[in-house]
Amino acid sequence: MAETTKYLIDESRLPKDWYNIAADLPQPPAPPLHPGTRQPIGPADLAPLFPMAIIEQEVSTERYIEIPEPVREVFRLWRPSPLYRAHRLEAALGTPAKIFYKYEGVSPAGSHKPNTAIPQAWYNAQEGVKKLSTETGAGQWGSSLAFAGQLFGLDVTVFQVRVSYDQKPYRRALMETYGARCIASPSRETQAGRHILEQNPDHLGSLGIAISEAVEVAALNEDTKYALGSVLNHVLLHQTIVGQEAILQLEMADADPDVVIGCTGGGSNFAGIAFPFLGLQLRGGRKRRIVAVEPAACPSLTRGKFAYDFGDTAHLTPLVKMHTLGSTFTPPGFHAGGLRYHGMAPMVSHLADLGLIEAQAFHQTACFEAGVLFARTEGIVPAPEANHAIKGVVEEALRCKAEGRAETILFCLSGHGHFDMASYQAYLGGKLSDSDYDEKELAMALSGLPVIA
């Protein structure tokens, strides 16, 4: 009889609560500061941008926060997501390690992003909000929020970085299929956008500018709120359903991971798989290695400073203490667009500072090599972001082989790569380079830190 490959749990076991790691921290993270007053921000400062329920989650120290039933209803479209044992990858590597992966590509948008888009849209709808504004780079987050808004009757406006808007029309088509309005950023629809275009009408845009535009629209319109797809505590909270399910599924598999691995951009995917396991440890459970894998070309955890910095380039957001390359740092144009962020979620940064998690960085060609091996063995073509996690897994599995240790490795396969075949084309055609950041530019960006001591 063959070994089981897939571990599915029944809809009835869909988690009823998110896990809030703030409840179990040995010490609290540094508070976010108002960009003007440099004083800790309060709910009133955030109220123009977020509904009250989200603001409460942002600062909550309750261990478990109930997932609203209408949100669970939507989750049932694809959740619980499958946990897989990677038998064929193990065989190809010749490793004694047992490799498990939690697969989030089964969501309608093909990634983990709907896990937070759905509750964010629902809380906004509950508080009478009619419109949401957001930014997107490659479009994973924008398409997830577009879908979520559609389900709860919210109009969604997405400021899409112009270079992505022009070069990735299919991502835009997905957002529009879900009913969202996409605007190339910088745009003439906001003060921030017009200001940039006056200086340079052909500006290609950046995530920082798109954030500024989306925030401005929300701040100036009573019926509009802003939604963010990573970094903030409530976003990380919403992703913990991934790890919560994985714990149940690994019980079915009679397995207990020695190493838990996730890729990190803003940090929410990593938090989703890692925090529930870290919570077990913080409450007295066994110690596991928890590994964040980031791109070597944008290495906030491995090369950044842990310091107060701005979340955007225009310096409109609160100051947060995080691992950052500096808000003026521009990562080179590698293919994992979801990992191209100068900072790291403050909560993930705090845990790294406490020594509770490890960080590793890999260059993109090595990650694509691991991703192609995964596709040829396990069948799923991973998103370029997820290839970073897979590279981390392959390294651990080969270490296990060298050491003759049958460790259990868990990672999150955060999305499929069906929208990213251009990057595979480039890799297979030998046209992908490991273009690195400019050391001088990084030094310059870091020299401005901390913004406040």
Site residues (vs its own copies, CB under 8 A) = 2, 4-6, 8, 10-11, 69, 72-73, 76-78, 84, 88, 106-108, 110, 147, 150-151, 169-174, 176-179, 372, 375-376, 378-381, 416, 418-419, 421-422, 424-425, 428
Q: How far is the CB of 99 from its own copies (least distance, A)?
A: 14
Residue 250 vs 381, nearer CB to its own copies? 381
When the beta carbons of 170 and 223 are compared against its own copies, the nearer one is 170
Residue 437 beta carbon to its own copies: minimum distance, rounded to whole angstroms: 27
Q: How far is the CB of 406 from its own copies (least distance, A)?
A: 22
CA distance 127 to 142: 21
Q: Where are the beta strands (DSSP E) in 143-180?
A: 155-161
Q: How far is the CB of 91 from its own copies (least distance, A)?
A: 11
| Residue number, 126 or 150, with CB nearest to its own copies | 150
What is the Cα 377 distance to its own chain's centre? 26
Least distance in Å: CB of 176 to its own copies?
5
CB 76 within 8 A of CB 35: no
Tell the smallest beta-carbon distance from residue 77 to its own copies (Å): 5
What's the rounded Cα separation, in Å, for the pair 77 and 107?
8
Burial call 427-438: b when 16+ CB within 10 Å, e when fewer = beeeebeeeebe
Number of Cα atoms under 13 Å in the Cβ half of residue 150: 17
Whole-angstrom CA distances from 26 to 20, 32, 132, 301, 322 are 14, 19, 36, 20, 17
Least distance to its own copies from the beta carbon of 283, Å?
31
CA distance 298 to 392: 16
Please identify, using beta-carbon distances, which residue of 275 and 427 lies nearer to its own copies: 427
Contact 239/104 with Cβ under 8 angstroms? no
Pairwise CA distance, residues 59 & 203, whole Å: 37
Per-position b or e across 15-25, b if 16+ CB within 10 A of its CB: beebbbbbebb
Instruction: Return the percent helix, strand and coil in the chain, to nearest 5.
Output: 45, 15, 40
Cα separation, 453 vs 449, in Å, equals: 8
Nearer to its own copies, 301 or 381 (CB): 381
Residue 223 beta carbon to its own copies: minimum distance, rounded to whole angstroms? 21
Least Å from the CB of residue 178 to its own copies:
6
Q: How far apart, in whole angstroms, are the C-alpha atoms of residue 349 and residue 301? A: 7
Contacts of 19 (CB under 8 A, 6+ apart): 63, 64, 237, 240, 243, 244, 275, 276, 279
Nearer to its own copies, 351 or 383 (CB): 383
- What are the CA-CA distances from residue 32 to residues 55, 62, 219, 228, 392 (Å)? 13, 19, 19, 16, 31
CB of 431 within 8 A of CB of 128? no
Q: Residue 69 or 202: which CB sits closer to its own copies?
A: 69
How far apart are CB 416 and its own copies at their closest, in Å? 8
